[in-house]
Amino acid sequence: MKRKAILPLLAALLCTAQTAPPPSPQDPYGPLFQAVQAERIFPDGKTFVDATPRDTPDAILEAYRREEPRGKEALCAFVLRHFDVPGEAPPSEKSLIGHIAALWPQLTRPALQPRAGSSALALPAPYVVPGGRFREIYYWDSYFTMLGLKADGHDALIGSMLTNFESLINRYGHIPNGTRTYYLSRSQPPFLSQMIDLADDGDAETAARHLAALRAEYRFWMAGAETLGKVGAVRRVVRMPDGSLLNRYWDDRADPRDESWAEDVATARESNRPSAEVYRHLRAGAESGWDFSSRWLTDPKRLATIHTTDIIPVDLNSLMWAMERNIARRCRVAGDQPCVTTFESAAQQRARAMQRYLWLPREARFADWDHVRRQPTPVLSAATLFPLFTGLASKAQADAVAGTIEARLVAPGGLRTTEMDSGQQWDRPNGWAPLQWIAIDGLARYQKTDLARRIAAGWIGTVNAAFLSTGKMLEKYDVEQRQPGGGGEYPLQDGFGWTNGVTRAILQLYPDLDPATGRQASPSAKHGVAQ
């Protein structure tokens, strides 16, 4: 380098050296810094001082003084909520909250523009994946993941995930099962309405965008309804015997699933029906999210007897009713009275049909209904709680359902999925995070607080026991033996988005729960949660 070129550089460096140096971490973070380093939250003291704050030092210190986290586990959880820690943050062996906080960065992915030939779908904003073999966004998983993101203050990430879902709707007319090309022919349980309510509309433009996304989502689920006569079914819509419309799960393709091709071919070979018919039912079972369950089988021991598209599911129709009500409410705010009238009428019609066909007063449960055989199905499942979760059930119905599930589905470690031990993963003895939340939230809505807390305590105890023995958050659990779950087409996965989200939300809802016992924690343990 020539002398003339060096001189300006030296001058710049000299000027920089003469400015006041920025503070070292112990200066702005004072008491927090001292507590973190004194407790040796991280084995290497350099870890914390290299962390990147997610907010201003003043805001973080204010939160620290307000929350007063005491003990190693509580401090770890606080730091992981407010800082991006370099490398893989070491979760405490005893702290579920700290472990979950450490997992969010690991499960977060940046905006994606896939290479040509990839099965991945482009996404314009960051997002959270479930983990393990599930390397992409999944539709209904994301709502339960968002519950935990909300509890841990990641509102911006919730917003960016909604941006991705709206982008998918704009491009494809619906939210696919997952963000892969091979998932585009189907969706999953429609939780977009609940996701949008979890976020903040912010301004009129955002509210209008949310409403437009909901109305497009609704059109997808009701597509073809206008072509139905007095009887029959088309895609995801079924004309009931009284002329009303309800929904079913479906898939627009009738060939083996790309991701489970060999398994589907083998299942079809075991059936005496046309292979395309079996494939459609298998794909519709995947759209349900319950892949697979005795809910969809005529013979609970044989997957080849699957008949998903024959069934009117109580969970799907509860979510559709909630979507209709949400659209009507948002249209009222927007001043669109014709829309209000249309969707209020649709919700009223659906509620009447569900009361007529899906409520079984003698059995004290909401049931799925077989529209081919024109009768309710015999399977009691955790889906019976969806009308409580959405608020569709009456007080008397909620009382009856609470008694039924307490007697038949509540296990020591949480809520069973069904009563049938079929070998399928969405059956006994497995419990799943989303169904625990549906039960807890739904029961609490109807003041069944003791039962809601009992399920919550059992679930947290199960998750904590598995965490202490494996160091992992798992996709599903055996709630009878309080151990990792089993069954299904693939090995048990860890990560795990919706388990993290629901567990974190439960611990926020019941901050006095001791995960080790499921009972009220001692006063000294409340800050750490999981002693």
Q: Which tokens sit at 319?
A: 């979510």
Nearest to 480 by CA among 507, 460, 458: 458
Distance separating alpha carbons of residues 101 and 89, to the nearest angstrom: 9
What six digits make up the tokens of 52? 């990147």
Side-by-side strand order, sheet with 311-312: 311-312, 369-370, 375-376
Query: What is the CATH number assigned to the segment(s) 379-531?
Result: 1.50.10.10
- Give the C-alpha separation, 249 to 189, whole Å: 9
pTM: 0.83
Question: In this predicted model, what pLDDT tens digit does every residue of 38-51 receive, in sequence order?
Answer: 888 877 667 777 77
Average pLDDT over residues 335-350: 98
Q: Which secondary-structure segment (H or E) carries 342?
A: helix 337-357
Residue 88's pLDDT is: 43
Spatial contact of 458 and 412, defined as CB atoms under 8 Å apart: yes
Confidence band, pLDDT 50/70/90 cuts, at residue 52: confident
C-alpha distances out from residue 486 to 318, 438, 443, 450, 482, Å: 28, 21, 27, 29, 12
Q: What is the pLDDT of residues 387-401, one digit of tens each?
A: 999 999 999 999 999
Q: Please give the DSSP secondary-structure letter assigned to residue 274.
A: -
> Which residues are CB-neighbours of 480 under 8 A, at least 6 positions away?
411, 412, 413, 416, 428, 429
How many CA atoms within 13 Å lie on the side-chain side of 177? Answer: 23
Q: Could you tell me the residue ranges of all domains in the chain?
A: 3-108, 258-308, 379-531
> What whole-number distance in Å separates Cα of residue 221 and Cα of residue 449?
34
| Mean pLDDT score, 170-178 | 97
For residue 381, give both structure tokens. 């499942």
Confidence class of residue 162 from pLDDT cuts 50, 70 and 90? very high
What is the mean predicted confidence (pLDDT) over 111-127? 95
Residue 18 clears pLDDT 60, i.e. is over it? no
In this prediction, residue 159 has a pLDDT band, given cuts at 50, 70 and 90, of very high
Which of the residue ranges 9-13, 19-23, 114-118, 365-369 has the most confident prediction, judged by mean pLDDT? 365-369
> Confidence band (pLDDT; 50, 70, 90) for 6?
very low
Which of 287, 291, 427, 478 does the annotation list as catalytic?
291
Q: For residue 475, indicate whether it is catalytic.
A: yes
CB 103 within 8 A of CB 495: yes
Q: Which two tokens stand for residue 378?
A: 């015999």
Query: Does 291 participate in catalysis according to the annotation?
Result: yes
d(CA 438, CA 388): 8
**Interstrand relation of 232-234 and 127-128 (parallel, antiparallel or unpaired):** unpaired
Residue type, 145: T
Type and span of the H or E element at 6: helix 3-18
The more confident residue out of 202 and 420 is 420
Q: How many residues does the chain have?
A: 531
Q: Which of 475, 478, 494, 514 is catalytic?
A: 475
Q: Could you report the per-residue pLDDT of 400-410, keeping only the tens digit for each?
A: 999 999 999 99
| Residue 149 three-state SS | helix
- Helical (H) or strand (E) element with 520: strand 519-520
pLDDT bucket at 87, cuts 50 / 70 / 90: low
Peptide bond between residue 241 and the one before it cis (omega within 30 degrees of 0): no
Mean residue pLDDT of the chain comes to 90
Which pLDDT score is estimated for 163?
Answer: 97
